[in-house]
Structures are given as C-alpha cells and as structure tokens.
Amino acid sequence: MSRANGERVKMQSQDIHRSASVEAFGATNQRILIVDDEPNVRLAYRVTLEAEGVAVEQANGAAQALDKLANKNFDLAILDLRMPEMDGLDLLEEMRKRGNHTPAVMITAYGDVPSAVRAMKLGAIDFLEKPLTPEALRAITLEVFGRHRATPSTTRPVAQEDTFEAHFSEAKRLINLQSFGSAWTHLARALELGPRSAEALNLAGVLFEMQGDYGRAAKLYGKAIESMPGYTPAQKNMRRLVDLHDSGGSKEDIHLGD
C-alpha cells in the first residue's frame, strides 16, 4: 500500500469513528459543564468529550459554575466532589435550591465516602472514581444522555417499550429529576420484568432505606445478594444495616450500584 493510500485509509477510519461517535451521542448540540478546580483534569475531560462532538464548558469552582448555569442550559454537569470553598454536593444542593435540575455525575477520589442518601435526594445517582479512563467518562455520559434524551419533563406519558431496560432507565431518569414516586412506579415494573436483577433490587432497597423502612430495605438487599452473590453494593449495604442494628452506627455509606 502506498503512503498516500495509507493516509487515505487512516482518514476514512477517523471519519467513520467520528460519525459513529456523533450517532451514539445523538445531536451534537449537547452541552456539558465540567466543574473541577484542577485545570489539567478539566482539560482531560474536555478533550475526551469534545472528540465525541459534544460542546464543553468549564468552571474552576462553584461560583463560576453557578454563574454559567444561570446563563446557559446544560444537558449534564460533571462535578468534582472535593473542591475548595464549596464541594460538589454543596454545589449540587445550591443548584437544586435555584431550581436547576441539570443531571449531574459526581467525581470522587479513592477513599472518599460521599453521602449517597444526600446525593440521591438531590437527584445524583451516577458516580465515577478518579483516576477516570476516557472509556468510563464516555460510557457514563452516553448513559445519562440516553436516559434524558428528548425527555425534559417528569410527566411525559409512558410511550416507551415495556421492557426491563426501558423501565429501569426511566426510574434512574426520574430519580435524577427528584421525582421519587414516579421513579418507584417504573422501578417496580422493572422488577416485575426482571425480578432477579441485583442492580434493580439494590436500588429498590436504597429507596426504601431513604424512607426509613430498614426492614424492607434489608429484604431487598438480601434478595440482590441471593441473586448475585458477588454483588458488592448490596453486600456493603447489608453490612451497614447490620452495623446500624448492632452498634447504632456504621462507616459504610449507602451504595447505589453500578
């Protein structure tokens, strides 16, 4: 193969990759806000996401983020948990107080134990741990975009497929929007269609635990473990409930699942 032909094949391959990325991510007018106090981290996230045809804006902290959120609409906010002055969860709480319901992904460092109950009440159920791989960042972004694509309302009619995947995704979307009653309706239907899904059983347990119903939460965590004995989130949640029962406290936080 000549050098010219080789370069042509390479360019065609790159064009195919870009086309596939744009198709996977949907419309290229999707906009993401990255909030992190480390410039190199923001740059790494930006390079990964802009390669997929997504518009990216950056903020170096909560004040700058709130200013941008007040003036533009974003399809996703990627928030670092550890930031000076105001951490990611405090920023998310302030966003919700201001009526901003942009879906959020929380970025945590190894050893961080974010309050999953607080995060979930604020509509955040998606967490990634540093150091991130580009693949992990793309995957979570795709999932959130797919969950919320063309669905800005919490009251849309259910015109989706009656499948486990559709109802489980809709439950997650509604949790993002803090519509917990509607989320439970879809999660319950997902469990009817997939009664042995460890991830769905665990998430149902978390919803009951949020309401203080520890007995039903424990039963659901137990069913998740029975269904998938190696499912770590449910194991940790069950261990925490045992600690709470035995000693009144636990170092384990709630684990929402994958």
Both 11 and 116 in one domain: the answer is yes
Query: CB-based contacts of 206: which residues, under 8 Å, 6+ apart?
Result: 116, 120, 217, 237, 254, 256, 257
Q: Per the omega criterion (within 30 degrees of 0), is the bond before 131 cis?
A: yes
Both 136 and 207 in one domain: the answer is no
- pLDDT in the model for residue 99: 94
The CA R_g of the chain, rounded to the nearest whole Å, is 20
Give the rounded percent of residues in the chain with a pLDDT score beyond 70.
82
Both 92 and 176 in one domain: the answer is no
**Tens digits of residue pLDDT in 63-87:** 999 999 999 999 999 999 999 989 9
CATH number at 20 reads 3.40.50.2300
Please state, rounded to an integer, the average pLDDT across all residues of the chain: 83
Could you give the C-alpha distances from 171 to 63, 95, 140, 157, 226, in angstroms and in order? 31, 21, 16, 14, 23
Is residue 94 a part of any domain in this protein?
yes
- pLDDT in the model for residue 28: 54
Q: At what angle do helices 164-176 and 198-210 cross, to 10 degrees?
A: 30
- pLDDT in the model for residue 155: 47
Is residue 252 a part of any domain in this protein?
no
Domain boundary among 148, 178, 206: 148
Find the mean pLDDT for residues 18-34.
65
Domain that holds residue 174: 164-247
Judge if pTM exceeds 0.85.
no
Is pLDDT above 60 for 183? yes
Both 179 and 216 in one domain: the answer is yes
- pLDDT in the model for residue 118: 83
Residue type, position 177, single letter: L
Number of domains in the chain: 2
Is residue 241 a part of any domain in this protein?
yes
Both 114 and 180 in one domain: the answer is no
**Dist. CA 43–CA 221, nearest whole Å:** 39
Both 86 and 10 in one domain: the answer is yes
Is pLDDT above 60 for 57? yes
Both 20 and 96 in one domain: the answer is yes
Both 126 and 31 in one domain: the answer is yes
Query: CB-based contacts of 90: which residues, under 8 Å, 6+ apart?
Result: 62
Find the mean pLDDT for residues 205-232.
92
Is pLDDT above 90 for 167? yes
Find the mean pLDDT for residues 46-63.
95
- pLDDT in the model for residue 51: 92
Both 52 and 92 in one domain: the answer is yes
13 pLDDT band (50/70/90 cuts)? very low
Both 140 and 42 in one domain: the answer is yes
Domain boundary among 83, 113, 148: 148
**Tens digits of residue pLDDT in 101-121:** 999 999 988 656 567 778 888
164 pLDDT band (50/70/90 cuts)? very high
Both 126 and 186 in one domain: the answer is no
CATH number at 175 reads 1.25.40.10
- pLDDT in the model for residue 152: 47
Is pLDDT above 80 for 176? yes
Both 131 and 195 in one domain: the answer is no
Is residue 134 a part of any domain in this protein?
yes
